[in-house]
Chain A
Amino acid sequence: MTEPLLVVSHLHMHIGTPRGTVRAVDDVSLTIEAGQALGVVGESGSGKSMLARAVMGLLPPRAVRSGSIVFQGRDLMTLPVRQQRDLWGKQIGMVFQDPGRSLNPVVRVERQLTEGMRRHLGVSRSEARTRAVTLLDEVGVPDPERRLGNYPHQMSGGMRQRVMLAIALACEPDLLIADEPTTALDVTIQRQILDLLRRVQRSRGMAMMLISHDLSVVAGRTDRVAVMYAGRLAETGATRAVFAAPRHRYTHALLDATPTLHQERHARLRVIEGSLPDPTAPPPGCRFHQRCTAAVEGCATGAVPMESVGADHRIACLNPVGAPALVTAGGAHDGR
């Protein structure tokens, strides 16, 4: 078996704030295979975006990382900045939530799109332009020749996100990190962009980390999913398996609390009582235990490790959904 494309091990990212140290990412380990799409879901404060920023090396001020982030065999945490910079934009592309703000407002699309190719691939200006037209066409921008001369404000939100994606794809990255790429868009446009991301990801055989607060966005478009809560990983596994039969209490509660299109009129939604713990002083034990309806002894105290509950399905939960009996709490699983 080949090495995974990205291996994140015991990643911590702590950020100093006036109110104390925020443990934005706390002991997160995950992998992405080449060509695979991984969804990362969680509510605000789950650490999903900080995880992406840690991988990209885009650290907020006063942030400290530890652990390792091995991409194509090289640890990004110890790699000299110059070599990291060669990876960014070339092997790793990124798309953000707000295409309006991540594009340079006073630079035409052509230069924003060709800059990376000229730098990383060393192609000529005319070659870069030709490629730019092809790229815009690939991401579904009509009349690409004319669009090259546009400034970002001359385009709609959906078009700008397509341009962002074209820029991210320009140097044929092996990994695309898409952080809430459709959150600012209307539902019919979101639909177009999600279809596009999946199509491009598959046709190029590119790996993707798709980050969203919306479980449904990740559901149909990723191979595997990682659910985060308050800086920690709660559950990982094949997307379809996790959504069909979530094992972690938080994943289960979150799916239950999400209204669907088939909701009965005035049906009571299942709620998750309470709110997120203070990120500067998270509770000991499982971070979710104060809001969990199935917490057992041990949830509030000891460390809750990630354990395997099936083929490629791991959870950090002492009393998982569908567990035969509470006796298993304490972790008598095999250590595979």
Chain B
Amino acid sequence: MAGSGVAHLRGDQALLSVEDLVVEYRTSAGVVQAVSEVSFDVLPGETLGIVGESGCGKSTTGRAVLRLDTVTSGSIRFRGRAIEELGEREMRALRREMQMIFQDPVGSLNPRRPVRELVVEGLDIAGAPKREQEAAADRVLAAVGLADERFRDLLPRRLSGGQAQRVAIARALAVEPQLLICDEPVSALDVSVQAQILNLVEDLKRDLGLTVVFIAHDLSVVRTVSDRVLVMYLGKLCEFGEPEAVYASPAHPYTRALLDSVPQPDAVDGFSGPALEGDLPSPLSPPTGCRFRTRCPRADELCASEEPRVAEVRPGQFAACHHPLPVPEVPAASGDAADPVPAGSTA
């Protein structure tokens, strides 16, 4: 998959703008480019969903924005300021405006501190007076639906997964951020609890005017929350656009394959299209050209020799692919298709 390029960036009004981001990890077997020349931006009040399989670089991208991982090259601008140029002290101040929540809610909370202290730790570090901290704790705990007094003195291990994730969200809100980065916030939760947390994120976003980067592997979840979707594969950008367009008529063959791999409760054979062959290549030695070409049904010599650049395939829909897919003639496997999908994939 594809490639690099900045054709899809929307310019100055973006709250967060990432250009040609490269993040490398050194391992005993060599250097891995976890994120390779990825660009994207997020407008104020928007939710950007980043989706992909393990190793695609989606979490690393989120961490890089907060400079939790060292950025090898590229630029990350938040409200016009280049974060790679900031000193550590300035960066610490900026992190109050950009908060992150993680997949393992219990593991991301200090096990020895009660909820009331956890949620205002950021304010405490910033030196806010006790009374302000208490007021903030009340406010954010109420905002995430944990107003009940009994939660205040609990330690993280006494919380359920859903409650712990609410605490993590409250903790992020306490410092009144503008940008919330959610890294797989619901993948450790049961379906019934997942829906509660997704609705909560939506409510908070609306009420507080938050801008959200929502990183997840679950395509259905990403569709629900996102205004724009970014699909990644092996450190590269594949596709970017509005969820309705990307899901109904994906331009990148990888997006198509990913969508076809999601089990469907309503499809006859459980899937809406054929399976993708093969395994993910090693990130230590990614394929030349387009990184997806080794599994791509449309790949040819060009894909092996030349890396595709991001280009606008249809208005507002961008893909990094030499052979993008056309809009399907039959609106593919969409909507309420109760008895759908001609391709009775016999696998």
Nearest-Cβ distance from residue B141 to partner chain A, whole angstroms: 17
**Interface with B: A1-9, A168-176, A261-269, which one?**
A261-269
Tell me if B199 and A269 are in contact (CB < 8 A): yes
Q: Is B60 an interface residue (CB 8 A)?
A: no
Most B C-beta atoms less than 10 A away, residue of A158, A194, A254, A269: A269
Tell me if A220 and B53 are in contact (CB < 8 A): no
Tell me if B265 and A258 are in contact (CB < 8 A): yes
Count A-side interface residues using an 8 Å CB cutoff: 49
Write out the residue numbers on chain B whose beta carbons fall within 8 Å of the beta carbon of A151: none
Q: Is B266 an interface residue (CB 8 A)?
A: yes
For the complex, give the distance between the alpha carbons of A192 and B260 in Å: 11
Nearest-Cβ distance from residue B230 to partner chain A, whole angstroms: 15
Q: Is B160 an interface residue (CB 8 A)?
A: yes
Tell me if A258 and B191 are in contact (CB < 8 A): yes
Residue-wise, chain A 211-249 has the 8 Å CB interface mask toward B (1 for contact) of 001111101110000000000000000000001100000
Most A C-beta atoms less than 10 A away, residue of B190, B196, B259, B280: B190
Tell me if B335 and A217 are in contact (CB < 8 A): no
For the complex, give the distance between the alpha carbons of A275 and B194 in Å: 11
Q: Is A97 an interface residue (CB 8 A)?
A: no
For the complex, give the distance between the alpha carbons of A258 and B190 in Å: 10
Whether A191 contacts B275 in the complex (CB less than 8 A), given A43-B191, A219-B265, A260-B265, comes out as yes
Q: Is B83 an interface residue (CB 8 A)?
A: no
Write out the residue numbers on chain B whose beta carbons fall within 8 Å of the beta carbon of A260: 220, 264-266
Nearest-Cβ distance from residue A274 to partner chain B, whole angstroms: 9
For the complex, give the distance between the alpha carbons of A216 and B221 in Å: 14
Q: Is B263 an interface residue (CB 8 A)?
A: yes
For the complex, give the distance between the alpha carbons of A159 and B278 in Å: 10
Q: Is A83 an interface residue (CB 8 A)?
A: no
Tell me if B220 and A263 are in contact (CB < 8 A): yes
Write out the residue numbers on chain B whose beta carbons fall within 8 Å of the beta carbon of A259: 195, 198, 218, 220-221, 223-224
Whether A43 contacts B192 in the complex (CB less than 8 A), given A194-B263, A214-B263, A262-B334, comes out as yes
Q: Is B143 an interface residue (CB 8 A)?
A: no
Residue of B nearest to A291 (CB): B192
Q: Is A106 an interface residue (CB 8 A)?
A: no
CB proximity to A under 8 Å, residues B137-191: 160, 162-163, 190-191
For the complex, give the distance between the alpha carbons of A270 and B194 in Å: 10
Q: Which of A198, A268, A275 contacts B202 (CB 8 A)?
A: A268
The bracket for how many chain B residues form the interface is 35 or more
Write out the residue numbers on chain A whose beta carbons fall within 8 Å of the beta carbon of B217: 186-187
Tell me if A261 and B220 are in contact (CB < 8 A): yes
For the complex, give the distance between the alpha carbons of A272 and B163 in Å: 14
Nearest-Cβ distance from residue A162 to partner chain B, whole angstroms: 10
Residue-wise, chain A 148-174 has the 8 Å CB interface mask toward B (1 for contact) of 000000001011000000000000000
Residue of A nearest to B269 (CB): A220
Whether A267 contacts B263 in the complex (CB less than 8 A), given A188-B275, A257-B195, A262-B334, comes out as no
Nearest-Cβ distance from residue A307 to partner chain B, whole angstroms: 24
Nearest-Cβ distance from residue B155 to partner chain A, whole angstroms: 16
For the complex, give the distance between the alpha carbons of A213 and B194 in Å: 13
Tell me if A220 and B267 are in contact (CB < 8 A): yes
Tell me if B334 and A271 are in contact (CB < 8 A): no
Residue of B nearest to A199 (CB): B347
For the complex, give the distance between the alpha carbons of A268 and B196 in Å: 10
For the complex, give the distance between the alpha carbons of A196 and B347 in Å: 8
Tell me if B267 and A257 are in contact (CB < 8 A): no
CB proximity to A under 8 Å, residues B222-238: 223-227
Whether A220 contacts B259 in the complex (CB less than 8 A), given A156-B280, A263-B223, A270-B195, comes out as no
Residue of B nearest to A258 (CB): B191
Tell me if B192 and A266 are in contact (CB < 8 A): no
Q: Is A15 an interface residue (CB 8 A)?
A: no
Whether A190 contacts B261 in the complex (CB less than 8 A), given A257-B194, A262-B334, A271-B199, comes out as yes
Nearest-Cβ distance from residue A309 to partner chain B, whole angstroms: 20
Residue-wise, chain A 192-212 has the 8 Å CB interface mask toward B (1 for contact) of 101110110000000000000
Q: Is A189 an interface residue (CB 8 A)?
A: yes
Tell me if A158 and B199 are in contact (CB < 8 A): no
Tell me if A261 and B247 are in contact (CB < 8 A): yes
Write out the residue numbers on chain A whose beta carbons fall within 8 Å of the beta carbon of B219: 187, 261
Tell me if B270 and A186 are in contact (CB < 8 A): no
Q: Is B62 an interface residue (CB 8 A)?
A: no
Whether A261 contacts B160 in the complex (CB less than 8 A), given A186-B217, A189-B279, comes out as no
Q: Which of A156, A215, A221, A244 contacts B279 (CB 8 A)?
A: A156
Tell me if B190 and A243 are in contact (CB < 8 A): no
Tell me if B223 and A187 are in contact (CB < 8 A): no
Tell me if A187 and B53 are in contact (CB < 8 A): yes
Nearest-Cβ distance from residue A286 to partner chain B, whole angstroms: 16
Q: Is B110 an interface residue (CB 8 A)?
A: no
For the complex, give the distance between the alpha carbons of A186 and B233 in Å: 12
Tell me if A44 and B198 are in contact (CB < 8 A): no
Nearest-Cβ distance from residue B148 to partner chain A, whole angstroms: 13
Q: Is B85 an interface residue (CB 8 A)?
A: no
Write out the residue numbers on chain B whose beta carbons fall within 8 Å of the beta carbon of A196: 347
Tell me if A263 and B224 are in contact (CB < 8 A): yes
Q: Is A253 an interface residue (CB 8 A)?
A: yes
Residue of A nearest to B162 (CB): A275
Residue of A nearest to B160 (CB): A275
Q: Which of A194, A195, A214, A267 contacts B224 (CB 8 A)?
A: A267
Whether A269 contacts B247 in the complex (CB less than 8 A), given A198-B347, A220-B264, A254-B191, comes out as no
15 contacts between A and B (CB under 8 A): A187-B53, A188-B257, A191-B276, A195-B271, A195-B347, A216-B270, A219-B266, A220-B267, A243-B265, A257-B192, A261-B259, A262-B334, A263-B220, A263-B224, A276-B160
**Residues of A near any B CB (own CB < 8 A):** 43-44, 156, 158-159, 186-192, 194-196, 198-199, 213-217, 219-221, 243-244, 253-255, 257-263, 265-273, 275-276, 291
Starting from the known contacts A191-B260, A194-B270, 9 additional A-B residue pairs (CB-CB under 8 Å) come to A188-B53, A213-B190, A220-B264, A258-B220, A260-B265, A262-B336, A272-B195, A275-B163, A276-B190
